[in-house]
Amino acid sequence: MTRLSPRTALRRTAGGLAVAGLLAAGSLAGGAPAQADGPAFTLGGPAETALHPYPETGTPQKSSLGLTVHNPDPDPESTGYEGEVTYTLDLGGIAGIAELSPAQDTGADCEITGDTAVCHDHGVHAGLSSVADFDLAAAKGSKDGASGTIEVTGSADGVAFTPFAAKVTIGGPDLVMKQLPFEQRLRPGDLQPAPITFTNKGTTAADGVLLTLMYSRGLDIPERYANCEYSGEAGEEPFEGFVWATALCSVPGSYEPGATYTLAAPLSVEATDRAYHDTFVYRIDEDGAAQRSAQRAGAPFTRGTGPELALRKVTASARSADLDPRDNQQEADFRTENTANFVAVGSETVGAAGETVTVDIGFRNDGPAWIGNLRSGEPVAAFDFTVPEGAVVTGKPDSCQGVTAEGKYREDRTGAPRYVCDTSMTVRDGAEVSYPFELKITAVVPGAEGAVRIRDPWLSDPGLPFDPKPADNTAQLVLNGGDSGSANTGGTSEGTTGTGSTEGGAGGDTGGQGTQTSGTPGTPSASGTSGNTGASGSASTDTGGGLASTGSVALTASAAGAVALAAGGVLYATTRRRAQRV
């Protein structure tokens, strides 16, 4: 019997581009769900996993198998299913063909006994999450070309599961993407070639290939090839609430083992006027209906009308012993010389003593750049609000933490003199972010003002490094002002409609009670990015709740391990940061 150790909290949900690679192998589901009165969850993973043949000497090389479960709960604030869950893997179909073993730092508690693996877990988050990770290797005596199937089922009280079948094959193509030497320091308008190149290091030819290109909001691929499908411009309809766009290019042909292929003519990657910190992901897989379906993930795509994207053979070499689906993908990070003007938006209101009023304050991004910490997953900025004299906060967004008047840690978060709200990890150009506060007027103080400020999450260094106009980072909330409009209440509401802000830790000095959040842009790395939409709601006296903002897309997650979701290659950002009770 083999026991798998419990997964760490950072791997509770399927993360970023790693999941994109996992799902790129095929369909998420198979079969019909078991009947139950409650919700139906879908089990998934790679439709097929190819293994290197058993070697004449030494130990067999391992391939990874990651299993997922999708909870279609549409409520963005839902905590998901909270009961006990059991997942069962029937390994009888791969007996004598492959052997399953626990992957290092893997998922839920699992026991493997004979031809059965049983995994126990508690709860299923809304959206896509990880079940467990395994290693697969060819069994001794297995033959090249042999295949079998792992049947995966799930059970939980009041829940139905759609089973999943994972095919395992000995031998096959292994498409390895070459990393391109991009210039990573750019200016808006810079255009550079992307001569996509890959090698088949497997044992058999690939019957057609699918090139997947994912690019964040500040980038564009100007070409629109006839054999490519496009999800639309990054950040625009139907992707207004997201920061990724995707291109799927099918190129038919036989791609031989040991051969290297490149684009007949390089495509282009352009830094647009809204570029700042951006990521480009390029991936190659064997083509097929299941592959394309998994990458589309139900999203609408439009076929290009230009010339066809073509490939040509570059070299042929000795076959490699590498069969590793993790090397199908490469990523590049870009930093563009650009700015974004964040404008604080205050308000004015009146009320009598004892009356409770609701005020909407916040900020907007006048661009031209969008700002996103895709790698670090940290907030872009902090919203800082000082409560006017003669009022006390009775309702606030969940994303806002009460602090002392100096911005330091405060044990009692209610009735605080000052509140700090971390923004999401991305703020789109044209975005408006609103924070609703409920204020009880304890005494009428004519013209009472409270500062409204958008700043860096580090209180010790509050300037926003990307903002060329710090003067409009501060506005005022005015209570019972004498001359309407005479106070500096900041910018007026402008911008596009979108989805909103999320919770995070307070950006003030935590005074030893925790670590201070840093919102400085993440540095480029080879790890994946990811995304999810921001929490929405209204201020309340019990749970708070973040008001939906227009255009702040909360993509939690990253190399640091925060959770994110990549639905196929489209990177639909559908999980949310959970609102913290404060």
Residue 92's pLDDT is 96
Q: Is 545 left (phi over 0), alpha (psi -120 to 50) or beta?
A: left
Q: Is 45 left (phi over 0), alpha (psi -120 to 50) or beta?
A: left
The β-bridge partners of 478 are: 348, 449
Q: Which amino acid is at 572?
A: Y
Q: Which residues contact 256 (CB under 8 A, 6 or more apart)?
A: 200, 205, 313, 316
Residue 129's pLDDT is 84
| 238: preceding bond cis by omega (within 30 degrees) | yes
Residue 38's pLDDT is 66
- The residue length of the chain stands at 582
- DSSP for 375-423, please give it: TT---S-EEEEEPPTTEEEEEB-TTEEEE-TTSB--S--TT-SEEEEE-
| Residue 242: burial class (beta carbons within 10 Å; 0-12, 13-18, 19+) | buried
Q: What are the respective helix, strand and coil percentages of the chain, to the nearest 5?
A: 5, 40, 55
- Going by C-alpha positions, the residue among 508, 531, 542, 540 that lies closest to residue 422 is 508
**Residue that has been written with the tokens 């609701």 in this structure:** 358
Backbone φ and ψ for 316, nearest 5 degrees, come out as: -130, 140
The β-bridge partners of 267 are: 194
DSSP assignment, residue 294? H
- Going by C-alpha positions, the residue among 500, 507, 416, 408 that lies closest to residue 455 is 507
Q: Using only the alpha carbons of the chain, give its radius of gyration.
A: 26
| Residue 93: burial class (beta carbons within 10 Å; 0-12, 13-18, 19+) | middle
pLDDT in tens, the chain (582 residues): 333 333 333 233 333 344 444 344 444 444 544 444 568 899 998 888 889 899 989 999 888 898 999 988 877 667 789 899 999 999 999 999 999 988 876 656 889 999 999 999 988 888 888 899 999 999 999 998 899 999 999 999 999 999 999 999 999 888 999 999 999 999 999 999 999 999 998 888 999 999 999 999 999 999 999 999 998 654 444 334 457 888 999 999 999 999 999 999 999 999 999 999 999 999 999 888 777 776 776 677 889 999 999 999 987 554 443 456 568 889 999 999 999 999 999 999 999 999 999 999 999 999 999 999 988 889 999 999 999 999 999 999 988 999 999 999 988 877 899 999 999 889 999 999 999 999 999 999 999 999 999 999 998 899 999 999 999 999 999 999 876 544 566 664 433 333 333 333 334 443 333 333 333 333 333 333 333 333 333 333 333 333 333 333 322 223 222 223 233 333 323 222 222 222
List the strands of the sheet with 259-263, edge to edge: 175-177, 197-200, 259-263, 311-316
Check: CB of residue 478 under 8 Å from CB of residue 387. no
Check: CB of residue 442 under 8 Å from CB of residue 390. yes
Backbone φ and ψ for 324, nearest 5 degrees, come out as: -140, 110
Backbone φ and ψ for 18, nearest 5 degrees, come out as: -60, -40
* Residue 303 CA: distances (Å) to CA of 311, 408, 505, 524: 19, 54, 43, 32
Spatial distance between the Cα atoms of 178 and 284, rounded to a whole number of angstroms: 10
Check: CB of residue 313 under 8 Å from CB of residue 261. yes
- DSSP for 149-182, please give it: EEEEEEEBTTBEEE-EEEEEEES---EEEPPP--
Beta strand spans in 423-547 (E): 426-427, 432-441, 448-455, 474-479
Residue 413's pLDDT is 75
Q: Which residues contact 206 (CB under 8 A, 6 or more apart)?
A: 173, 175, 200, 254, 255, 286, 287
| Residue 72, H or E segment | none
| 368: preceding bond cis by omega (within 30 degrees) | yes
Instruction: Give 520's Cβ-side CA count (13 Å radius).
Output: 11
Q: Which residues contact 56 (CB under 8 A, 6 or more apart)?
A: none
Check: CB of residue 215 under 8 Å from CB of residue 525. no
Instruction: Give 396's Cβ-side CA count (13 Å radius).
Output: 26
